[in-house]
């Protein structure tokens, strides 16, 4: 019987078995004795960029923007009362075209979702906010955009071929397949099949989650490659090249945002667990001995990132992994967890990977990936601190956190329920909606003029369909921070417009000429 904790992959050693004659030059463990990459380069323009550092510990202490909630590995995962039910979020996303099933007209494909115009913009904004915090605001992290298909030996070295598995069981009644640690249970807590009700299951078998495909026209094992299950490996494989050409010194990081694929046995909870998703990962290379201080630094940085983007601290926590839960590469890991409606669940993992990855790739490739620290006159294999977040999970958490049902007073004084996404302005897909009071020909030219005035600076939506009240509700439901209304006074009298604030629902009258400055002051689009 295999004991696997929820969310944990079984750890893997290295498989020397598979034979990839098209690529294999070195057997596992054989070292080419090649000179380190930097020794081959005589170009002085590649001398490291950063000035000498007094110390390579985190230079400035980061303070948490709200007290860091750190919980034990076995902390209770139940979400308790939640103001946003998952079904409500899923329905809102479908209604407003944010996120909906892939290939819907054919009945959909499990574990695959499409992001419509506003969903794509929201997801882009999450990625932009991550890049801003991880790259733009730092001088010690550089970007990589690596290929999804990599040399198959990468996944042997990383341990994925042998160990990236989940325990699979089959229902003895109807052969439906389940992850052994995620079987549905009845009121008595007994596992049962959700399709036929049977309670008998086969013994768990290890199922490798990597999707395989073939390069070139022949589908045989020598041409088989894997769809990457994480973006991280390219940052290790390209470490020496990126370090040299970006002229960075350890400590420094390589960051990447990109697609990953996992053949999850039971994709579930909307976009929380899917088969095709995007990761935002950063590998931060540090001198051994400084790794624990850097690990803490990154835990606080990532905690702050979610809170600065408006997430409520009571819905966020840091959970330490128990020793038996650690992945095969990890010296220590914490999860950033969010209180989703279904349970407290992982948003992001922040691992201290030690030197596992550079050691494995040095050994499997035969290329020395050690680093020469000129200031200390020593050579070592850097340790790696890895904050690894999911774009879909973050997007879902921001959606859930922003969701509110409120009572609102209409222009006629009636109290109505409104649904509003109180998204941070930086995340809102549309920043300003331009709403002519009606489709009357007298209003259209000025309304178009206002939209054209704002469009170069912010994503603008022009909406003239339905009553103003309905249009406000529509914009509230997708989190648009400001609505600008053009009425008959605008065109006949004062060239002034009404600006409505999404959260306070206050309305201000402003001259059109003042509008860009006003929005510039009030839209908080940066972290």
Minimum gap (Å) between residue 264 Cβ and ligand GAP: 5
- DSSP for 144-165, written as a single string: ----SB--THHHHHTTHHHH-E
- C-alpha distances (whole Å) from 127 to each of 44, 226, 405, 486 are 35, 25, 27, 34
Question: Cβ 29 to ligand GAP, closest distance in Å?
Answer: 24
Q: How far is the CB of 121 from ligand GAP (least distance, A)?
A: 20
- Please say which residue, 122 or 432, places its beta carbon nearer to ligand GAP: 122
Long-range contacts of 414-420 (CB under 8 A, 24+ apart): 418/473, 418/476, 419/92, 419/473, 419/476, 419/477, 420/476, 420/477, 420/479, 420/502, 420/503
DSSP state of 465: S
Q: Which is nearer to ligand GAP, 153 or 393 (CB)?
A: 393
Least distance to ligand GAP, CB of residue 443, Å: 45
User: 450-479 burial by CB neighbour count: b if 16+ within 10 A, else e?
Assistant: bbebbeeebebbbbbeeebeebbbbbbbbb
Nearer to ligand GAP, 388 or 496 (CB): 388
- Residues 6 or more apart whose CB falls under 8 angstroms from that of 414 comprise none
Buried residues in 246-260 as b, exposed as e (16+ CB within 10 A):
bebbbbbbbbbbbeb
Q: 236 vs 482, which CB is nearer to ligand GAP?
A: 236
Residue 273's DSSP bridge partners are 268
Shortest CB 211 distance to ligand GAP, Å = 12
Torsion of CA 376, 380, 385, 386, to 10 degrees: 130
**CB-wise, 235 or 460, nearer to ligand GAP?**
235
β strands within 236-300, DSSP E: 252-261, 276-286
Cα 441 to Cα 445: distance, rounded to the nearest angstrom: 8
Dihedrals phi, psi of 301, to nearest 5 degrees? -60, -45
Q: Which is nearer to ligand GAP, 346 or 477 (by Cβ)?
A: 346
CB of 9 to ligand GAP, least distance (A): 7
Cα three-residue angle 277-283-287, rounded to 5 degrees: 165
**Residue 391 or 460 having the CB closest to ligand GAP:** 391
Closer CB to ligand GAP, residue 22 or residue 209? 209
| Shortest Cβ 281–ligand GAP spacing (Å) | 6
Q: By the criterion CB under 6 A, which residues form the site for ligand GAP?
A: 230, 232, 262, 264, 273-274, 277, 279, 281, 346-349, 386, 388-390, 392-393
Q: Please say which residue, 353 or 431, places its beta carbon nearer to ligand GAP.
A: 353
Output the smallest distance, CB 393 to ligand GAP, in A.
4
How far apart are CB 315 and ligand GAP at their closest, in Å? 16
Closest distance to ligand GAP from the beta carbon of 267 (Å): 7
DSSP element (H, E) containing 291: helix 291-308
Cα–Cα distance for residue pair 183/181, rounded to 1 Å: 6
**Residue with Cβ nearer ligand GAP (6 or 35):** 6
Which residue stretches of 59-171 are H helix?
86-95, 117-131, 153-157, 160-163
88-97 contacts at long range (C-beta below 8 A, 24 or more positions apart): 88/403, 89/270, 89/341, 89/396, 89/399, 89/400, 89/403, 90/270, 92/403, 92/419, 92/477, 93/119, 93/270, 93/399, 95/477, 96/474, 96/477, 96/478
The nearest distance, CB 366 to ligand GAP, in angstroms, is: 24
Least distance in angstroms from the C-beta of 91 to ligand GAP:
21
Say which residues have a Cβ less than 8 Å from residue 369's Cβ, sequence separation at least 6: 236, 239, 240, 358, 361, 362, 381
Q: Which is nearer to ligand GAP, 248 or 260 (CB)?
A: 260
Angstrom distances, CA of residue 67 to CA of 311, 318, 383, 460, 509: 13, 11, 28, 36, 40
Question: Helix %, strand %, coil % for the chain, to 5?
Answer: 30, 25, 45
Q: Nearer Cβ to ligand GAP, position 75 or 174?
A: 75
- What is the rounded end-to-end Cα distance, in angstroms, of the chain? 48
CA 391, 393, 398, 403 torsion-angle sign = positive
Q: Which residue's CB is nearer to ligand GAP, number 280 or number 460? A: 280
DSSP 8-class letter at 80 = -
Nearest approach, Cβ of residue 94 and ligand GAP (Å): 19
| CB-nearer residue toward ligand GAP: 351 or 454 | 351
For ligand GAP, the nearest residue by Cβ is 390
| Minimum CB–partner distance for residue 229 and ligand GAP (Å) | 7
């Amino acid at each position: 019987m295999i004991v696997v904790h929820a969310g944990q992959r079984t750890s893997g050693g290295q498989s020397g078995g598979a034979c990839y004659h098209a690529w294999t030059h070195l057997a596992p463990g054989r070292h080419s004795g090649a000179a380190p990459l930097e020794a081959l380069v005589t170009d002085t323009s590649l001398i490291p960029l950063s000035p000498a550092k007094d110390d390579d510990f985190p230079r400035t202490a980061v303070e948490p923007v709200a007290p860091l909630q750190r919980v034990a590995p076995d902390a209770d995962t139940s979400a308790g009362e939640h103001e946003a039910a998952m079904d409500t979020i899923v329905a809102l996303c479908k209604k407003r075209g944010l996120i909906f099933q892939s290939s819907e007209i054919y009945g959909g494909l499990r574990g695959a979702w499409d992001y419509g115009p506003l969903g794509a913009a929201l997801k882009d904004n999450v990625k932009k906010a991550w890049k801003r915090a991880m790259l733009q605001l730092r001088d010690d992290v550089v970007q990589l955009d690596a290929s999804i298909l990599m040399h198959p030996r990468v996944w042997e070295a990383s341990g994925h071929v042998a160990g990236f598995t989940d325990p699979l069981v089959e229902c003895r009644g109807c052969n439906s397949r389940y992850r052994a640690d995620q079987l549905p249970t009845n009121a008595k807590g007994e596992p049962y099949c959700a399709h036929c009700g049977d309670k008998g299951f086969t013994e768990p078998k290890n199922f490798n989650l990597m999707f395989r495909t073939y390069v070139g026209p022949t589908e045989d094992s020598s041409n088989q490659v894997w769809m990457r299950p994480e973006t991280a490996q390219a940052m290790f494989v390209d470490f020496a090249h990126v370090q040299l050409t970006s002229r960075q010194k350890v400590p420094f990081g390589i960051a990447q945002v990109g697609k990953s694929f996992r053949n999850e046995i039971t994709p579930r909870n909307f976009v929380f667990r899917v088969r095709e998703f995007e990761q935002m990962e950063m590998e931060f290379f540090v001198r051994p001995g400084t790794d624990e201080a850097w690990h803490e630094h990154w835990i606080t940085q990532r905690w702050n990132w979610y809170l600065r983007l408006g997430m409520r601290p009571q819905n966020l926590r840091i959970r330490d992994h128990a020793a038996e839960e650690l992945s095969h590469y990890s010296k220590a890991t914490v999860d950033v967890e969010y209180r989703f409606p279904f349970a407290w669940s992982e948003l992001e993992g922040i691992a201290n990977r030690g030197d596992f990855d550079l050691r494995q790739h040095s050994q499997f490739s035969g290329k020395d990936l050690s680093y020469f620290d000129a200031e200390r006159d020593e050579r070592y294999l850097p340790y790696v601190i890895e904050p690894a977040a999911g774009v879909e999970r973050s997007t879902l958490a921001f959606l859930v956190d922003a969701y509110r049902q409120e009572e609102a007073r209409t222009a006629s004084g009636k109290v109505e329920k409104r649904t509003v996404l109180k998204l941070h302005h930086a995340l809102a897909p549309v920043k300003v909606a331009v709403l002519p009071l009606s489709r009357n020909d007298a209003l259209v030219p000025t309304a178009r003029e206002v939209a054209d005035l704002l469009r170069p600076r912010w994503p603008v939506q022009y909406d003239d369909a339905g009553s103003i009240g309905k249009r406000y509700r529509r914009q509230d439901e997708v989190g648009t921070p400001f609505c600008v209304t053009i009425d008959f006074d605008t065109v006949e009298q004062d060239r002034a417009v009404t600006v409505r604030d999404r959260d306070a629902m206050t309305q201000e009258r402003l001259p059109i000429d003042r509008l860009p400055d006003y929005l510039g002051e009030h839209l908080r689009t940066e972290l």
